[in-house]
Structure 1
Amino acid sequence: MKQLNGAKFNIENLGYIKRGEFEVKPLTLFCGKNNTGKTWAMYALYGCLDRLPSGMPIPGLDEIVSSLIKEGSAVFDLQLLVQTHYKDLARLIKRGCQLRLSTIFNAEQVSFDNTVIDWMISKEQMLHVIMTEELDFRLELGKQVDALRLLKPRGETTVSITLLAEKLPDLKRYLSDVIVRFLLQQKDGRNVFLVPAERNGLHLFFRELSSRRSALLHHVSREELDVTKLISDIMKSRYAEPIADYIDWLNGLRTRRKTKGAECHDSADALRKTLIGGKYEVDSEGVISFTPRKIRGQPSAEKMSLHLTSSAIKSLFGIWFFLEHQAKPGDILMIDEPELNLHPAAQREIARLLAAVANKGITVIVSTHSDYFVREINTLIMLSKAHPRRDELMQKYGYVPEQLLELDDVGAYYFDETGINPMQVNEEEGIFVETFDQVIRDLNDTSDDIYYQYRDDQDLSDLV
């Protein structure tokens, strides 16, 4: 799978966000003060990238559906369909983004009528996907293998469809969803993984926080069981979708621990060696434990429950586990505040590590308040530029080629009261971070002024 790149989004009137556009690059940064909408943008982006319903059928599919029902097979030219009905497809995608909002934020009581969220994919991008990507969709219904199959080889535009199921309700709408998901490259095997800022608490209490588990315990404790209410409570999460999905992911660790993601094992190992300083374990019951690294000359450290570890060890677990067991090229890794609970030196290390992950073909999107994180990214951008002394400087400061970032692979956006604003990125300095620079200047000026005022007063006092 290829890295998601060039996906552009427009957002208006979403939470604190008035308006703004951003493009998803191999490494994308959201920066800004608190309460400016960074997490809202992360959540909305997660929901759209993860699974986007079309909400309505594509025009031009009537003949195809009739042929499928009558003959059990059909063919059509996907390139011609896009060229003829591009505007309808664009409206359908925009509508799908809109429909996701109440579910993403689990906020049916909040009106999103004035909110705009639009995945701005051009006709040219759709046609490029058609020519460069393979479509091989298979639907299984019970024991019915290939109840519905769509097949288009890479480099061709004709799609072959086979329908083996006797009845498939709302076939036109179902075909529309498959086509839209293909054009947006929302592949079933792709992971869209968001590590929330609330992760430390979730790592400790994920079993208790599981909405389905809580609903079952609540209803079992009642004298009379209301089956309708039980089903409703089990199906409805109490959290925003990214949080609920992360809780469900944690509750599935005992099965996921059996898999290995070979593509990012070295990144997970680097994280373990440079920042974690020990190893995590997940047992057959899904319980997380940690064993500190043995220090020479001292007895081996004992395994401990995660709740006894430092906040940094708790914070890094989800990132490590995803890289070790699941991550592969084509996936999307989103982290809300990767610097959470980390010392400044460790914030620089996590920046290097995530740059290396992005270079493996995994799209990395982060929301950050860390000047150390952004400045380390700047160094990786500057070092990507050829220079006679580059190798010498890299060796001197401990950088490796896998960490370097090409200018076009980095996008950065600043969130403030006006909305979402692109930040300048160049190969001479990297990302221009005026927001951090101003705070640092203010801090230095304040500190210097107080220091010299006190010193001058003391000098006058000594003279008297």
Structure 2
Amino acid sequence: MFFRAQNLGPIRDAEIDLSKDLVVLAGPNNSGKTYIAWSVYGLHRSRPALNVVLDRWVRQLLESPEHAIDLGDLFAQGEGALLESIATEYKSKLHLCFAAESTYFSAVNVSLRDVDLLKRSGPIAHISGLAATLGISALRTHGPGSTRIGWTILVDDHFKTFFNAMKEGAPTPAELQAATTSALTTLATEHRKSLEGDLSSGLQSLVYSVLFPHCTIFPAERIAVNIFAKELALKRTELVDELVDADLDDQSSAPLELVRRKAGRYPWPIRDSLKTANDLANLSKEKGPFAALADELESAVLGGEIAVSEAGEMLFSLRGETDRRLQMHLTASVVKSLSSLVFYFRYLARRGDFIIVDEPELNLHPDNQRKLTRILAKAVGLGFKVMISTHSDFVLRELNHLIMLSKLPEGEAQALGYDPRFALDPKRLGVYLFNEQHAYPVPVEETGFSIKTIDDVVSQLNADEQRLYARLSD
């Protein structure tokens, strides 16, 4: 899918292909890279209502004999309306993503086009009777990546009867259809209205899960987030206390005015990062399926281990010194920069997630920039989508190495010191140069790609070195 933004901050026009597995944003400072990264995050986070667009498909779920729809048909026939509705609604919320006044974004235009998934047949979505105390109608999908996406509680005797029958054995698809049709035939009007609303919400969730995978962003402000999250949470708590104690007859202390003066306004990427940082104890109860990436990041880059205390505080210990754990403000800058990414991979990451990392090179020595680039490439190979915004020649050159790696036999890659799992398919990369108020697509060849603004600086640096060396040699 292509995301296009016009008149967004310093950007006059930029279109990014979000279907790529790895998207690289490069270019000078103040050229709009963060604007695009945050806007893409907001697009995935914001889920406007699509009820009007989906009404027809909800009716088909309820009224067709099979109580089913092909999601490929839904996307193919509704592409224009779906994408236009999403883009229009998101534009109206864009200022919230940036915590800015709406007038600042009044000239912005956002559009979406060409969803690759629309060209392929989708899985089947259907409703069917399922077991529950009062009976449940569920919207489910069957096909690649199938997932249950919504539940609706129905007080209906047909479902009670069907629930009892299910105890005797698994129903066939025909029995499911028959039971659902029977239940819908006598469903009270108020229950049918409720069901229509819930099915619309469930179908909307499915549409969004197909178009916009779960997205996590690591903004350039992540070091401050990791250090000051608790203090900022305390400030918010104190504000709530002050609101509770406010004299509502005193207009100078009216609640809304207090919020405006004292709460502070945070863009969605920072607000969501703060929310995660203040819920570490709850989120770290069970390791996820990609904890090995966290282990590799700790071993290769940090040289130690990240842990979470019972109080929900992130701690760090050097390798072999787990009895001496440092609070985050006492750690090296590399730990502050990457601790949230370690936590994400260990506890929160799920296959198919979309990860946005603003300036992955932040506070990293060149060798660690290369190591982190390899780990992010491995995440791409494991099924993640990744977007990075970078100024680092070390990151970009390592990406080129990993692109060339994809053309080498496995044995040769290992002989050169590379894990073949780091390899990047050049066809699955989208690279963009932000310059002069536009984002220009950069060709990606089998040997990699070139970012002119960075290459020009490197060439000038080498030329200056040669001139200075020649003068000293005279």
Q: TM-score, normalised by structure 1?
A: 0.80
Q: What is the Cα deviation at residue 305 of structure 1?
A: 1.3
Which of 360, 375, 383 is the aligned partner of 1:338? 360
- For 1:110 and 1:194, locate their aligned partners in 2 and report how far apart those are by CA, in whole Å: 25
Change (3 A) 1:87 1:120: closer
- For 1:271 and 1:63, locate their aligned partners in 2 and report how far apart those are by CA, in whole Å: 46
Instruction: Tell me the residue number matched to 1:151.
Output: 140
Alignment of 1:209 with 2:248, yes or no, is no
Alignment of 1:34-433 (within 5 A): 34-54=29-49, 57-58=52-53, 61=56, 64=59, 82=75, 84-122=77-115, 125-126=117-118, 128=120, 131-133=121-123, 135=125, 149-154=138-143, 164=154, 166=190, 178-185=202-209, 191-210=214-233, 212-213=236-237, 215-219=239-243, 228-229=255-256, 238-262=265-289, 264-294=290-320, 302-386=324-408, 391-392=411-412, 394-427=413-446, 429-433=447-451
Q: What is the Cα deviation at residue 267 of structure 1?
A: 1.3
SS class of match (1:411): strand
- For 1:161 and 1:222, locate their aligned partners in 2 and report how far apart those are by CA, in whole Å: 41
SS class of match (1:46): helix
Report the number of matched residues: 427
SS class of match (2:53): coil
- For 1:362 and 1:192, locate their aligned partners in 2 and report how far apart those are by CA, in whole Å: 10
Q: What is the Cα deviation at residue 329 of structure 1?
A: 0.7
Q: What is the Cα deviation at residue 107 of structure 1?
A: 1.3
One-letter identity of the residue aligned with 1:199: R
Change (3 A) 1:227 1:39: same
Q: For 1:410-454, what per-residue CA distance to the aligned partner results, in whole angstroms no more than 9, with x for missing partners? A: 221111114111111111x21222222111111111222233234
Contact between 1:74 and 1:160, CA under 8 Å: does it hold in 2? no
Structure 1: unaligned runs, 5 residues or longer: 1-6, 457-464
Instruction: Tell me the residue number matched to 2:161.
Output: none
Change (3 A) 1:62 1:312: closer
- For 2:88 and 2:392, locate their aligned partners in 1 and report how far apart those are by CA, in whole Å: 35
Change (3 A) 1:164 1:277: same
Which of 447, 460, 463 is the aligned partner of 1:442? 460
Change (3 A) 1:169 1:292: farther
One-letter identity of the residue aligned with 2:303: G
Contact between 1:57 and 1:176, CA under 8 Å: does it hold in 2? no
- Identity fraction in percent: 29
- For 1:149 and 1:231, locate their aligned partners in 2 and report how far apart those are by CA, in whole Å: 44
Structure 2: unaligned runs, 5 residues or longer: 156-189
- For 1:182 and 1:29, locate their aligned partners in 2 and report how far apart those are by CA, in whole Å: 28
SS class of match (1:29): strand
Contact between 1:11 and 1:116, CA under 8 Å: does it hold in 2? yes
Contact between 1:237 and 1:244, CA under 8 Å: does it hold in 2? no
Q: For 1:68-104, what per-residue CA distance to the aligned partner results, in whole angstroms no more than 9, with x for missing partners? A: 9xx9x96666555555544322321221331330221
Q: What is the Cα deviation at residue 113 of structure 1?
A: 2.8
Instruction: Tell me the residue number matched to 2:179.
Output: none
Change (3 A) 1:76 1:450: closer
Change (3 A) 1:253 1:220: same
Q: Which one has the bigger helix percentage?
A: 2
- For 1:133 and 1:34, locate their aligned partners in 2 and report how far apart those are by CA, in whole Å: 43
SS class of match (2:104): coil
- For 2:199 and 2:111, locate their aligned partners in 1 and report how far apart those are by CA, in whole Å: 22
Q: TM-score, normalised by structure 2?
A: 0.79
SS class of match (1:340): coil
SS class of match (1:13): strand
- For 1:55 and 1:113, locate their aligned partners in 2 and report how far apart those are by CA, in whole Å: 23
Contact between 1:381 and 1:407, CA under 8 Å: does it hold in 2? yes
